[in-house]
Chains A and B, each alone.
Chain A
Amino acid sequence: MLDDLRKKLSSGDDLIKESLAKAKNDKLDAFVTIIEDAKTENNAAILSGIPYVSKDNFSTKGILSTASSASLKDYIPFFDATVIQKLKDAGAVNIGKTVMDELGMGGSGTTGHTGAVKNPWDNERITGGSSSGSCAAVASGIVPFALGSDTGDSIRKPASYCGVVGYKPTYGMISRYGLFPFASSLDHVGVITTSVKDAAEVAGVIKGKDENDMTSWDSSNINLTSNLTGKVQNKKLFYIKEICENNYQDILEETNSTLKLFSDNLDKIRALGITVEEISIDKDLLDAIYPAYFTIASAEATSNMANLTGLIFGPRGKGKTAEEMMFDHRTNGFSPLIKRRFIIGSYVLRAENIEKYLFNSARVRKMITSKISDLFKNYDGMVLPASLSPAPRLNEKLPDYLKTEQYLAIANFGGFPSITIPSGFVNNMPVGINITSDIKDDENLLNIAYSIEETLSFKNQTIKGGK
């Protein structure tokens, strides 16, 4: 898509104006802020004149940054996140800040303080989250790419529900400086695009060691775009049997179809010369992913968001003492869901609970990470359905297996690079396929995804939103 847009640019089109016009016309409620005066500042760089949107949890200088939370509803940062700065330097133009699940916590796209984001393919369905508005904006063709963040699957699952590409590189390849944290040990910055090549290109621009993020590392020897050769002969992938079998309790028809489609797609992948093998993993361990993720993420979140007190930024609470003011700010600033997460996060950190809850969760994390790392010694990647169903309907009562669907968090546990690409339709709704590789093996991952994208042929797919 980016290559096509460059052609349009050279023939004199103003892509920024076009995108702004589409954004203003958005019927999906994808935007917290539309940056009306956005314009191209740098004409001579790799992404010059290309519009994009960023999730509202990136710090943007002089532009409202709320993370879709009432606690930050009036916060205007005075500095740019590293990735925002890098995109500016590369000539890309931020035209809007997108709605997300409040503070990144949630997977529905319905909990932001400005309301639910609608799925562009069916407005009665959710986008998933937490990078909801970012996925909706790319899927509905407003912008060619968006910045998102991914803590458990927050880019890769909504990408599946919206029929776009969602990629989070290896942990630390992209700086988190200026990303409002949810769970720091799981948070990744990533991109949402309509093609693997675009994802590689944008990630290539924003990656790099950042002296403002101790967990970032030097990836100058990794070139994300140059390895997109399509040569995948003799590559080896595995999928996890227990996730891909259709023996879930209260299984939905849409899940059956999603799994059937996945299995059909595996055949197409094999036809590329890639070996795909089935691996079995202890069901107890797989079942432990959700509670372990939930525990770790909630624990980190409760402390990461302890800076939200309304003293330095955000609305000042009412009260006679500083403590009452903080109390009032936090009581009114967070939705009930967020408070529940904080309470649970705080509970699992208490001295009498930490061993059973947080430490055992962290041990589960280690078991999963070791298991998958070991498999990556023999395989180039793990392939799984990006979700077990297409996007659920708003307020749909979900069976337990969908409520606790969290296996994409394996990539967050181990910091593994992971990408979702569109892989077909179930009930006229898009679904995706997810591929995950070993840490720092992003070039290989993207090349495999690139080849699969080629054969599945949903590249550059968008749908005009607001039917």
Chain B
Amino acid sequence: MTKEFTKEKINNLASTLLFAVSDDEVEIVLDELEFLKSKMDNISHIKNIMDYEIQTHPFDLYETSLREDDSSEEGTDVNLLLANAKNTQNREIEVPKVVG
């Protein structure tokens, strides 16, 4: 039987999220996912669940109006924008050369 959750999968997920996890943590995530899966299995069996729509917001806010495009704001002072950045050059944030 192939296991649904493997260390390799967890490490792959972590690397797409741009961080490393320790082996101990991977073990914990595996347990948490097993636990969540069993709960989600139960949820799949709730009666009529498929009759319900997917709720993405607390409630519908149809009366909200869109922002009128009648003006724009001056840009923020670049010194403020870059005040928290550690590597900058002139008016920009510097990173090692991005290729690809």
The interface of chain A, by Cβ under 8 A from chain B, is 74-76, 78, 171-172, 185-186, 211, 214-215, 217, 282, 284-285, 287-288, 290-292, 294-295, 302, 309-316, 319-323, 325-327, 330-331, 334, 336, 339-340, 342-344, 346-347, 356-357, 359-367, 369-370, 412-415, 439
Q: Are B96 and A322 in contact (CB under 8 A)?
A: yes
Residues on B with C-beta less than 8 A from A367 are 46, 49, 52
Once the chains bind, are B67 and A439 in contact (CB under 8 Å)? no
User: Within the assembled complex, what's the spacing in Å between the Cα atoms of A75 and B28?
Assistant: 30
Number of residue pairs spanning A and B whose beta carbons lie under 8 angstroms apart? 158
* C-alpha spacing A309/B58, complex, angstroms: 29
Task: Assess whether B61 is in contact with A217, with CB atoms less than 8 Å apart.
Answer: yes
Binding site for A on B (CB under 8 A): 10, 13-14, 16-22, 25, 28-29, 32-33, 36, 39-40, 42-46, 49-50, 52-59, 61, 63-64, 67, 76, 80-81, 83-87, 93, 95-96, 98
Identify which of A76, A215, A346, A362 contacts B17 (C-beta below 8 A): A346
- Expressed in whole angstroms, the Cα–Cα distance for A76 and B82 within the complex equals 11
Give the residue among B16, B49, B50 with the most A Cβ atoms within 10 A. B49
Contacts of A75 on B, CB cut-off 8 Å? 84
Q: How far is the CA of A347 from the CA of B55 in the complex (A)?
A: 19
Are A339 and B96 touching (Cβ within 8 A)? Answer: no
Contacts of B76 in A (CB 8 A): 78
Instruction: Report the minimal beta-carbon distance from A162 to chain B, rounded to whole angstroms.
Output: 26
A-B contact sample (20 more), CB < 8 A, given A322-B98, A344-B29, A346-B16: A171-B58, A186-B58, A215-B57, A291-B39, A294-B36, A295-B36, A310-B86, A313-B85, A315-B86, A316-B87, A323-B18, A325-B96, A330-B17, A330-B19, A342-B19, A343-B17, A357-B36, A361-B40, A361-B43, A367-B52
CA distance A327 to B57 in the complex (A): 31
A312 to B86, CA, bound (A): 8
Q: Check if B58 sits within 8 Å of A185, measured CB to CB.
A: yes
A356 touches B61 (CB 8 A): no
Distance in Å: Cβ of B47 to nearest Cβ of chain A: 8
C-alpha gap A326/B16 in the complex (Å)? 11
A302 B17 Cβ-Cβ under 8 A: yes
Report the Cα distance A412→B44, complex, angstroms: 22
